[in-house]
A and B are shown apart, each in its own frame.
Chain A
């Protein structure tokens, strides 16, 4: 059964960069699309963007200028970088597989806080 495990620093400074990685196990990253979704504390879900197994990416226009999603096929993982962060970027960041127009499965989520 496929599992996703997010990791990375849980604290970023204002105007800095938030970097997270998602490791995929129980299946190959060389198919489907791979996505990031975030959820500010007590709020709803926001799609950040996705990357295909071939490296093609799509981003939410609201974040596109600050986001980069990359894929590391040899290590079966993909990553998120969000630049110029502010307190508004504090959220639980989820990684998930995108297949057949839905997101499943999801990683457990990583709370990333932006604070000086």
Chain B
């Protein structure tokens, strides 16, 4: 099983600042099948980034993903109030086919 470890657990920032979230895999993620999701309280997760660096439809360009192999990063530039949420990374491959990180809470 590929274990994803996200850091930090909680990130405290202010609107207008830049957020940098990390996701580290216990082994290399095949073909960089690494995605990022945003989840707000009481809502389902929303896909932000797929293939490590491609933005999903309708996602603002202040969200960007990077990385390869075992180390991946989600960067959010110029934080907006609606960006404060929990963020999960997810990988595809192996057994189980999908695994998630434990999440990073981005708070004001």
Contacts and interface: CB of A to CB of B under 8 A. Distances in A.
B79 interface: no
B90 interface: yes
Contact of B103 (A44, A58, A101, A108): A44
A44 B101 contact: yes
A26 to B, nearest CB: 14
A102 B90 contact: yes
Contacts of A104: 47, 56
Given A61-B95, A100-B50, A106 B100 contact: no
Nearest to B57: A104
A95 B51 CA distance: 21
B89 to A, nearest CB: 10
Report whether over half of chain A's contact residues are helix, strand or loop; otherwise say mixed.
strand
Give the interface size class of chain A. Answer: 20 to 34
Contact of B98 (A35, A100, A109): A35
A60 B39 CA distance: 22
Contact of A102 (B35, B95, B96, B101): B35
Nearest to A48: B96
A102 B100 contact: no
Contacts of A47: 96-100
Contacts of B45: 45, 94, 103, 106
Contacts of A62: 96
A89 interface: no
Interface of A: 35, 37, 44-47, 50, 58-62, 94, 96, 98, 100-109
Interface of B: 33, 35, 37, 43-47, 50-51, 56, 88, 90, 92-93, 95-103
